[in-house]
Copies of this chain bind each other. A is one copy, B any other.
């Protein structure tokens, strides 16, 4: 089967299809979205070598009978089911987990994939393939209200108007919060205008002005700005991983009694509900479509500055 491999260099390669272990489904890939994490992996993050990809929609072709023929999305953490986090119902923090296309597990940029049946979620007919590849990143945005009580009366600023930032802004806007997004480019500015969400210039940010700040940049500049503009007793949500160490003034966090909260993978069922209800606009965030034979070009395109979602079809 064809797969998008990274072994220091990125290439489309013919590899053996996976052998299905017990309690796993064999999936035939339909579409895969490209995430900034994929780009980071190409830059050496996690020292990953193998098949990339973790935002996917596929069809079940082998495994548990009741799933055959169904379109599914899949949770990306392959958990051990026995550690204390698995016992507590938090498999995303399993001590022994593998992570689809990120850590110790071959990813979704391949014609076939096996995944534990318990990781699968059926995709209703009302959600298209293009929309379904957003389930994983939308779930990640939903991890913010999953872990943090965001009050409807809060002022919220999202730093970073990329794919994840725009999903976070839509999610928090639905809560009733007063959401603004720091924007540099025209495309996200237009999307935000269409959604009724305010766009801000970075020059207009005010110190200690904001109840909840979401850093979607994963950069030192992003977290520094977040610490600056958060109000005393405010929350700073770290939504992206940081490719490099950040050199920051933690006394700001102490003196303002801030909460810095890291968030990662989120609830798939909630993401599916919101997409089925058309509450979140993801289609406007799609910038390009590619076929699997052009997957290397797709990654190149996704790597262009300001590019929103790029989807690869099978």
Give the residue name and chain of the B residue nearest to A90 (CB): B233
Is the CB of A314 closer than 8 A to any CB of chain B?
Answer: no
Q: Are B255 and A238 in contact (CB under 8 A)?
A: no
Within the assembled complex, what's the spacing in Å between the Cα atoms of A179 and B261? 23
Contacts of A147 in B (CB 8 A): 257
Segment touching B, from A59-67, A123-131, A241-249: A241-249
Is the CB of A263 closer than 8 A to any CB of chain B?
Answer: yes
Within the assembled complex, what's the spacing in Å between the Cα atoms of A263 and B256? 8
Is the CB of A4 closer than 8 A to any CB of chain B?
Answer: no
Q: Are A259 and B256 in contact (CB under 8 A)?
A: no
With A95-B208, A257-B93 given, is the CB distance from A248 to B245 under 8 Å? yes
Q: Are A251 and B255 in contact (CB under 8 A)?
A: no
Q: Are B247 and A247 in contact (CB under 8 A)?
A: yes
Instruction: Find residues 117-162 in chain A having any chain B CB closer than 8 Å to their own CB.
Output: 143, 147
With A85-B232, A247-B247, A248-B246 given, is the CB distance from A241 to B254 under 8 Å? yes
Give the residue name and chain of the B residue nearest to A143 (CB): B257
Contact of A262 among B143, B253, B263 (CB under 8 A): B253
Give the residue name and chain of the B residue nearest to A95 (CB): B208
Contacts of A259 in B (CB 8 A): 259-262
Within the assembled complex, what's the spacing in Å between the Cα atoms of A242 and B254? 8
Within the assembled complex, what's the spacing in Å between the Cα atoms of A248 and B248? 8
Q: Total interface residues on A, using CB and 8 Å?
A: 36
Q: Tell me, rounded to whole Å, the shortest Cβ–Cβ distance linking A233 to chain B.
A: 6
With A93-B233, A208-B95, A232-B90 given, is the CB distance from A241 to B255 under 8 Å? yes
Is the CB of A223 closer than 8 A to any CB of chain B?
Answer: yes
Q: Tell me, rounded to whole Å, the shortest Cβ–Cβ distance linking A293 to chain B.
A: 34
Contacts of A232 in B (CB 8 A): 85, 90, 93, 95
Q: Are A258 and B254 in contact (CB under 8 A)?
A: no
Within the assembled complex, what's the spacing in Å between the Cα atoms of A253 and B263? 8
Within the assembled complex, what's the spacing in Å between the Cα atoms of A255 and B253? 20
With A90-B233, A95-B208 given, is the CB distance from A254 to B262 under 8 Å? yes
Sample of 23 A–B contacts (CB below 8 Å):
A85-B232, A93-B232, A93-B233, A93-B256, A93-B257, A95-B208, A238-B250, A238-B253, A239-B254, A241-B254, A242-B250, A242-B251, A242-B254, A245-B247, A247-B247, A252-B262, A254-B264, A255-B264, A256-B262, A257-B261, A257-B263, A259-B260, A260-B260
**Contacts A90-B233, A93-B232, A243-B251 known; 13 new A-B pairs at CB < 8 A:** A90-B232, A95-B208, A238-B253, A242-B251, A242-B254, A245-B248, A246-B248, A253-B262, A254-B262, A255-B264, A258-B262, A259-B261, A259-B262
